Chain A
Amino acid sequence: MLHIFCPHCQEYREEDEFHYRGQAHIVRPKDPEALTDEEWGSYLFFRKNPKGIHHELWYHTTGCRQFFNVTRDTVTYKIHESYKIGEEPAVKSEGDVT
C-alpha cells in the first residue's frame, strides 16, 4: 500500500485516501474541432505505459479533494515526488518532452 505525500495537505497519507486518475500532463486541445480524427483519437485514447518513471494524476478523495501529480517508478513503486497541478516534475522520464 502506497504512502503518498499530498502537496496540498503537506502530509504523508495512506493510499486509501486517494484515487488514481491516470497519466498526468494531458492537456486538452484548445480547439478540438481543428484536430483530425487521428489527433483527437490520440488525445482521447492513447496513454503511456512506461517501465520506470511515470507521471501520474492523483486525487485526494477523502482528504482535501485536490488533484495533484506524482512521479512514480512503475517497477519499484518508489514515489520520487508529489507536485501541484501546473508545476513541472523535477524527475523526468525518458519519454518526457522538454
Chain B
Amino acid sequence: MSQNKRLASGGRIDRKKVINFSFDGKSYKGFEGDTLASALLANGVDIIARSFKYSRPRGITGHGSEEPNGVIQLGTGASTIPNVRATQQELYAGLVANPVAGWPSVNFDLMATLGKAGAMMPPGFYYKTFMYPQKLWMTYEHFIRKAAGLGKAPTAPDPDTYDKINHHCDVMIVGAGPAGLSAALAAAKTGARVIIADEQNEMGGSLLSTTQTIDGAPASQWLQDTIETLEDYSNVIVLPRSTVMGYYDHNFLVVIERRTDHLGEISPRGARQRMHRVRAKQVILAPGAQERPLIFANNDIPGVMLASSISVYLNRYAVAPGNALVVSTANDSGYQAAIDWHKAGRKVIGIADSRAESNGELVEEAKKLGLKIWFSHAVIEAKGSRRVYAATVAPINAEGTQVTGASQNYDCDIIATSGGWSPVVHLSCHTGARPVWNDDIIGFLPGKTVQKQHCVGSLMGQHQLHDTFEQGLATGAQAACEAGFGDGSNSIKVPSVDLVKTGQAQALFLVPHSKSVSRAPKQFVDMQNDVTAAGIELATREGFESIEHVKRYTALGFGTDQGKLGNINGMAVAAQSLNKTIAETGTTIFRPSYTPTTFGAIAGRDTDSLFDPIRYTAMQSWHEANGALFEDVGQWKRPWYFPKPGETMQQTLDRECLATRNSVGILDASTLGKIDIQGKDAREFLNRVYTNAWSKLAVGKCRYGLMLKEDGMIMDDGVTSCIADDHFILTTTTGGAANVLEWLELWHQTEWPELEVYMTSVTDHWSTMTISGPNSRKVLAKVCDDIDLDKDSFKFMDWRSGTVAGVKSRVFRISFTGELSYEINVQANHGLHVWEAIMEAGKEFDITPYGTETMHVLRAEKGFIIVGQDTDGSVTPQDMDMSWCIGKNKEFSFIGKRSFTRPDTSRTDRKQFVGLKPKDANVILPEGAQAVRNPNESIPMTMVGHVTSSYYSAVLGHSFALAVIKDGHNRKGESVYFPLADGRTIEAEITDYVFYDAKGEKQHV
C-alpha cells in the first residue's frame, strides 16, 4: 500500500523527492511539499485518532489550523511536541508521529471495547458524576486524563534553542492570501516598514489551490511574482510558517515562526522557533475565512471532510482521499469540490443541495459536466464506522428544519460538506472586540475596536477574488498613509480576474434527521471535545441560556483547536434550541493563542541561568572555595551555612553560633539594601517616612529605624547613619531594597516635591562584612590603625571612616547578634581583599564564617525581628512591642501614625510578638504552626496565633521560637499548643522574646 490515493500528476509536491516517515509505528512514504495529513491520506490511512469522550475513530477533516481530529504527538523523547495538527506539519525525512489518543493503538481502542458508551457521558458529566466525594477527584482526574489522551509533554530538557526578536513596524499584515499580499504590495510601495506573516509553509492562502486565472495566467504565476517583489523590498519582512498567535493592546502582536520544524525533529540550524514581538503602527487583518461543515448524523466518521479541503488535497497535494464522492452543501462553493473531484477522474455520486435552486456559475458548470444534483436535499446521515460506506440523502423543507420524504442510501466512501464560510475573527477578538452577526454573509464579522486596525478580504465576507485584490491594495495604501507613508491612494493596477456569479447561500447549520435530535445518531458539533447537537440541546433544556454557560457546560470550543470548526455551529444549535436568532444568542469570544504555542517559544533564551539574573557578592569565590551552601534571597545568592566534612546542618549551626558568641564570627552582609540620601531636607524627609526622630542624629551616629505603610503596618526596617548634616546612608532588608526606594520616590515626587532630597541605590557599590563576637575588636585592631577603637570613643551605634586592610572604609558599630560587632563597608571591588585580610587577622581567634541560618539564630536569641519573616504586613510596631521606636514628639504626622488609633489597630486582642519555649527542649516547632489554647477542643479549633521563627539554640541548650499570639504580652508563662498535621501536639510556654543577654550588655563592651 504505497500512496495509492496519489494522483499521477499535478499539485505543488515534488515527486522526485521521496520522504520516509512513520505514523503509529508503521512506515510510509510521501513527497516533499506534503503535510503529514496529505501524506497519510495519500497512503490511505483513515484513522488518525480516537475521540476524547467516546473513543470513536476519527480521520482528517480539514487541511489547516482548524483541524479538530488529526492531532498527533510529533517526535519522541526530549524533543517531542504534543497536539500538533497533522494538517500543518510539513513532512521531513524520518518524521515520527503517533496518535495522542487511543491505546494500544488507534485501530483497536480498548476504551471503545470496554463500553465507554455515549449514554454514560452526557454534558456536565464530570460535574454530575465526579462531584462527590471530593477526596476522590484526584483519582478521577488521573483516570480521565489518561483515557482522554491529551498528549504527552516531554520529560527531559529540550535539546533545541528558541529565541525572540522585537520589531517596530508601520504596517503589520496578518495572512498572506490574496487580500494580505495585495495589501502588502501597496503598503510596501510607499516605503513603510511592512511585516507580513502567514501560518502556512507557502504564502498564497486560497491561491495555492484555486483553479481561477489571474491576468490570464494560472494564479501560481501571480503568486510567485508577488512574493518575489515583496522579498526584494528592503522595507518588507516576509514571514512564512509564522502564526500570529496573539493580538494584544496598542497593536502589539506575537508571531511564532517555526524556523526548522519542517526540517527535522531537532533543529539542524539555529533556533527551532522564534517569537517575533511586533509593535505596529497599523495592523491589517487578512486571515481569511474558514469553511463551516454541516452537522448531520455520524458526521465524524472518517471520510467526511470539508468540501474546500477536498479541493486543496486534490489541487495542492495531488491526493484524492477516496473514490466515490457525495457532496452536501448549502451554497455554491460546495460544488467546487465535486467539479475538482470529477476533473481528477474520480466518481461523483451526487450533490445534495439544501436550496431549491441556484443560478451560480459553479452550479451551471456542474450541470454541464453532467453531475447529479439533488436540490432541496441534504445528507442527513453518514453510514460506516471506520470509514464511510454510504450517505443517507433525504429531501428537506425550505427552512432546513425537517425531512419531508423518504431517504435513500447512496454508496460512497467520501462525503464533502459545506455550510458556508465563517470569517476568521479570532485575532480581532483578542483585544476585546465582540464579533457581530451578519445575516448577509451568514457569519460573524469583526466587532468595533479602538486598535489601529483594518480588516480585509474574506474576513469581511468578501469572496470575489477581483474585489479582494482591489480592496487589499486600497487598504494597504490607506494603512501606510495612516502610518505616515504615501498619500493613501493605490497606484498599483488591480489584477484582472473574472467575476464568479454565485447564487444565494442558505443559512443551514444542523441538518434535520428523520428522527429528533435526541434520538438520531450522534450529530457532532465539536469533534475534538465530542460535543453533539443533542448535548447542546440538553444544556439549554437544563437551563443554560447564556452562550458562555452553554460553552462551559458542554466544553464546546475548549479543545486545542478552540472550536474553529464547531463554535459557530454550536451557537446556531443553541440559538435554535432557545428559539432565538444567532444575533440574539451571540458568540463566545476567542482568546490567545490562536493555535497551541510551545513553551519553548514562550521561554526563548530565558532559561537556566538566563531565566532570572543571579546576584553575587564580591566574596562569592571565597564562599564557594570554603564549602558554603547557598540560599536564594531575592535574586541574591547568600551563604546559608559553611559545613565542615562530616557535620550535620545542626552541628554546623551550633559550631558557628558558639564561635560567634564566644570568640568571633564573620558574615557577608553585602546584600543588605543601601540607599544614599542627600539634600538639605534629607533629615526632614527621614522624619516623615520613619517612625522615629532624626532631627538630632549627629554626624558619626547610627540609628535603627522602622518604616510603616500608611495603614500603620510595619513595612521595612534598617539602620540609617548620618554621614553629614545633609547626607545619610539608609539600609533596608535584602529583599525590600527596590520596593523601599520606589516607596521613598513615591512620597517625594507625589506629596513632598518641595523637599530637596536625592536618593540613589548604592547596594552594589559596597561590600559589607560583619565581624561579631567578644574578640571582634581585637581582629579589627589588627587590620585598622587609623580609627580609635576604644570602647568609649567609638561607641555602640557610632560609625567611623578609616582604613581597613589598606582600603578606605566606613566602619559601623552596630549589632544584629547582640555581641560586640563591627560592620565594615568598602568599595565592592576591594571586598574580597579585605575579607581575606580579616580572615587572616582572625586566625588566632578562630574566626568563623557563618551564613544566613546562623545569623537568623543569633538575632532570634536576641528577639530581633526580620521584617517579612516575623512580620507579614499585618502587624504594627505595638504588636511587635516596639513602641520604643516611635518618636513621641515629632512635629510631622509621619507615615502610618494616624493609623495607630484606628479601631482595628487599637483593639486589645491583636496577635502580639512573644517568645516560645517548647516543653521538650529538643523539639523544634515548625515555622507557621498554628497555636491553640485548648488542644482538646473539637475541630475546627480556635487558632490564636502562629510561629514566625523557630530554631535550636546551642548557647541556651534548648529549642526556642518567636511567635505572634493573641494578647501574648499579657500571657507570658501560659502554655499554648500546636496540633500538627502529623498528629503530634507540641506544648510550649509563652515567654519574653529576648532569650539571651536580656539586659543587652554584650553589645556595649
Which residues of A pack against B, CB within 8 Å? 1-3, 14, 19, 21, 27-28, 31-33, 35, 37, 40-41, 44-45, 57, 59, 61, 65-67, 73, 75-79, 85-86
Contact B893 A31 (CB under 8 A): yes
Q: Give chain B nearest CB distance to A3 CB in angstroms.
A: 4
B897 contacts which of A21, A32, A85 (Cβ < 8 Å)? A32
Contact A19 B742 (CB under 8 A): yes
Q: CB of B989 within 8 A of chain A?
A: no
Contact A3 B753 (CB under 8 A): no
Contact A57 B450 (CB under 8 A): no
Q: CB of B919 within 8 A of chain A?
A: no
Q: Give chain A nearest CB distance to B482 CB in angstroms.
A: 16
Contact A44 B711 (CB under 8 A): yes
Contact B450 A78 (CB under 8 A): yes
Taken together as a complex, chains A and B put the C-alpha atoms of A40 and B901 apart, in Å, by: 11
Most chain B beta-carbon contacts within 10 A, residue among A3, A45, A79:
A3
Q: Which residues of A contact B745 (CB under 8 A)?
A: 59, 65, 67
Q: Which residues of A contact B450 (CB under 8 A)?
A: 73, 76-78
Taken together as a complex, chains A and B put the C-alpha atoms of A1 and B730 apart, in Å, by: 35
Q: Which residues of A contact B898 (CB under 8 A)?
A: 32-33, 35, 40
B893 contacts which of A3, A27, A32 (Cβ < 8 Å)? A32
Q: Which residues of B contact A77 (CB under 8 A)?
A: 249-250, 431-432, 450
Q: Which residue of B lies closest to A19 (CB)?
A: B742
Contact A40 B902 (CB under 8 A): yes
B250 contacts which of A2, A21, A57, A85 (Cβ < 8 Å)? A2
Which residues of B pack against A, CB within 8 Å? 248-252, 279, 431-432, 450, 710-711, 742, 745-746, 749-751, 753, 893, 897-899, 901-903
Contact B710 A85 (CB under 8 A): no
Q: Which residues of A contact B252 (CB under 8 A)?
A: 1, 3
Q: Which residue of A lies closest to B759 (CB)?
A: A65
Contact B893 A33 (CB under 8 A): yes
User: Can you name 9 A-B pairs with beta carbons within 8 Å?
Assistant: A21-B746, A32-B893, A32-B898, A33-B893, A35-B898, A37-B902, A44-B710, A44-B711, A44-B899
A1 contacts which of B248, B432, B899 (Cβ < 8 Å)? B248
Q: Which residues of B contact A35 (CB under 8 A)?
A: 898
Q: Which residues of A contact B742 (CB under 8 A)?
A: 19, 59, 61
A85 contacts which of B249, B750, B899 (Cβ < 8 Å)? B750
A59-B746, A77-B431 known; 11 other A-B pairs, CB under 8 Å? A1-B249, A1-B252, A2-B250, A19-B742, A33-B893, A44-B899, A57-B750, A65-B745, A67-B746, A77-B432, A78-B450
Q: Which residue of B lies closest to A57 (CB)?
A: B750
Q: Which residues of B contact A59 (CB under 8 A)?
A: 742, 745-746
Taken together as a complex, chains A and B put the C-alpha atoms of A96 and B753 apart, in Å, by: 24
Q: Which residue of A lies closest to B432 (CB)?
A: A76
Taken together as a complex, chains A and B put the C-alpha atoms of A41 and B711 apart, in Å, by: 9
Q: Which residues of B contact A73 (CB under 8 A)?
A: 450
Q: Which residues of A contact B250 (CB under 8 A)?
A: 1-3, 77, 79
Q: Which residues of B contact A2 (CB under 8 A)?
A: 249-250
Contact B893 A37 (CB under 8 A): no
Q: Give chain B nearest CB distance to A52 CB in angstroms.
A: 12
Contact B893 A85 (CB under 8 A): no
Give 9 nearest A-B pairs by CB, closest first.
A32-B898, A3-B250, A76-B450, A77-B249, A67-B749, A32-B893, A1-B252, A78-B450, A1-B248
Taken together as a complex, chains A and B put the C-alpha atoms of A44 and B896 apart, in Å, by: 10
Q: Which residues of B contact A41 (CB under 8 A)?
A: 902
Q: Which residues of A contact B903 (CB under 8 A)?
A: 37
Q: Which residue of A lies closest to B761 (CB)?
A: A65
Contact B753 A86 (CB under 8 A): yes
Most chain A beta-carbon contacts within 10 A, residue among B248, B249, B711:
B249
Contact A67 B249 (CB under 8 A): no
Q: Give chain A nearest CB distance to B429 CB in angstroms.
A: 14
Taken together as a complex, chains A and B put the C-alpha atoms of A27 and B750 apart, in Å, by: 9
Q: Which residues of A contact B753 (CB under 8 A)?
A: 85-86
Taken together as a complex, chains A and B put the C-alpha atoms of A44 and B902 apart, in Å, by: 11
Taken together as a complex, chains A and B put the C-alpha atoms of A65 and B249 apart, in Å, by: 24
Q: Which residue of A lies closest to B248 (CB)?
A: A1
Q: Give chain B nearest CB distance to A67 CB in angstroms.
A: 5
Q: Which residues of A contact B899 (CB under 8 A)?
A: 40, 44
Taken together as a complex, chains A and B put the C-alpha atoms of A59 and B710 apart, in Å, by: 19
Q: Which residues of A contact B710 (CB under 8 A)?
A: 28, 44
Q: Which residue of B lies closest to A73 (CB)?
A: B450
Most chain A beta-carbon contacts within 10 A, residue among B450, B710, B750:
B750
Q: Give chain B nearest CB distance to A12 CB in angstroms.
A: 9
Q: Which residue of B lies closest to A14 (CB)?
A: B279
Q: Give chain A nearest CB distance to B519 CB in angstroms.
A: 46
Taken together as a complex, chains A and B put the C-alpha atoms of A45 and B526 apart, in Å, by: 47
Q: Give chain A nearest CB distance to B1000 CB in angstroms.
A: 33
Taken together as a complex, chains A and B put the C-alpha atoms of A35 and B899 apart, in Å, by: 11
Q: Give chain A nearest CB distance to B450 CB in angstroms.
A: 4
Q: Which residues of B contact A44 (CB under 8 A)?
A: 710-711, 899
Q: Which residues of B contact A86 (CB under 8 A)?
A: 753
Q: Give chain B nearest CB distance to A73 CB in angstroms.
A: 8
Taken together as a complex, chains A and B put the C-alpha atoms of A79 and B893 apart, in Å, by: 36
Most chain B beta-carbon contacts within 10 A, residue among A67, A73, A75:
A67
Taken together as a complex, chains A and B put the C-alpha atoms of A64 and B893 apart, in Å, by: 30
Q: Which residue of A lies closest to B710 (CB)?
A: A44
Taken together as a complex, chains A and B put the C-alpha atoms of A3 and B450 apart, in Å, by: 14
Taken together as a complex, chains A and B put the C-alpha atoms of A65 and B431 apart, in Å, by: 29
Taken together as a complex, chains A and B put the C-alpha atoms of A45 and B711 apart, in Å, by: 9
Q: Which residues of A contact B248 (CB under 8 A)?
A: 1
Taken together as a complex, chains A and B put the C-alpha atoms of A77 and B432 apart, in Å, by: 10
Taken together as a complex, chains A and B put the C-alpha atoms of A28 and B750 apart, in Å, by: 10
Contact B711 A85 (CB under 8 A): no
Q: Give chain B nearest CB distance to A27 CB in angstroms.
A: 8
Q: Give chain B nearest CB distance to A53 CB in angstroms.
A: 13
Q: Give chain B nearest CB distance to A84 CB in angstroms.
A: 10
Q: Which residue of B lies closest to A76 (CB)?
A: B450
Q: Give chain B nearest CB distance to A6 CB in angstroms.
A: 13
Taken together as a complex, chains A and B put the C-alpha atoms of A27 and B899 apart, in Å, by: 16
Taken together as a complex, chains A and B put the C-alpha atoms of A30 and B450 apart, in Å, by: 41
Taken together as a complex, chains A and B put the C-alpha atoms of A36 and B893 apart, in Å, by: 15
Contact B750 A67 (CB under 8 A): yes
Taken together as a complex, chains A and B put the C-alpha atoms of A66 and B753 apart, in Å, by: 12
Taken together as a complex, chains A and B put the C-alpha atoms of A40 and B895 apart, in Å, by: 13
Q: Which residues of B contact A67 (CB under 8 A)?
A: 745-746, 749-750
Q: Give chain A nearest CB distance to B762 CB in angstroms.
A: 14
Q: Which residues of B contact A79 (CB under 8 A)?
A: 250
Q: Which residue of A lies closest to B894 (CB)?
A: A32
Q: Give chain B nearest CB distance to A22 CB in angstroms.
A: 10
Taken together as a complex, chains A and B put the C-alpha atoms of A44 and B746 apart, in Å, by: 16
Taken together as a complex, chains A and B put the C-alpha atoms of A75 and B713 apart, in Å, by: 34
Q: Which residues of B contact A76 (CB under 8 A)?
A: 432, 450
Taken together as a complex, chains A and B put the C-alpha atoms of A37 and B450 apart, in Å, by: 43
Taken together as a complex, chains A and B put the C-alpha atoms of A64 and B511 apart, in Å, by: 63
Taken together as a complex, chains A and B put the C-alpha atoms of A65 and B746 apart, in Å, by: 10
Q: Which residue of A lies closest to B712 (CB)?
A: A44
Taken together as a complex, chains A and B put the C-alpha atoms of A66 and B749 apart, in Å, by: 8
Most chain B beta-carbon contacts within 10 A, residue among A32, A66, A78:
A32
Q: Which residue of B lies closest to A41 (CB)?
A: B902
Q: Which residues of A contact B751 (CB under 8 A)?
A: 27-28
Given contacts A1-B250, A2-B250, A76-B432, contact A85 B902 (CB under 8 A): no
Q: Which residue of A lies closest to B246 (CB)?
A: A1
Taken together as a complex, chains A and B put the C-alpha atoms of A27 and B251 apart, in Å, by: 34
Taken together as a complex, chains A and B put the C-alpha atoms of A66 and B899 apart, in Å, by: 28
Q: Which residues of B contact A66 (CB under 8 A)?
A: 749
Contact A3 B746 (CB under 8 A): no
Q: Give chain B nearest CB distance to A36 CB in angstroms.
A: 11
Q: Which residue of A lies closest to B250 (CB)?
A: A3
Q: Which residues of A contact B431 (CB under 8 A)?
A: 77
Q: Which residues of B contact A85 (CB under 8 A)?
A: 749-750, 753
Taken together as a complex, chains A and B put the C-alpha atoms of A48 and B808 apart, in Å, by: 53
Q: Which residue of A lies closest to B741 (CB)?
A: A65
Taken together as a complex, chains A and B put the C-alpha atoms of A57 and B745 apart, in Å, by: 13
Q: Which residue of B lies closest to A40 (CB)?
A: B898
Taken together as a complex, chains A and B put the C-alpha atoms of A39 and B317 apart, in Å, by: 74
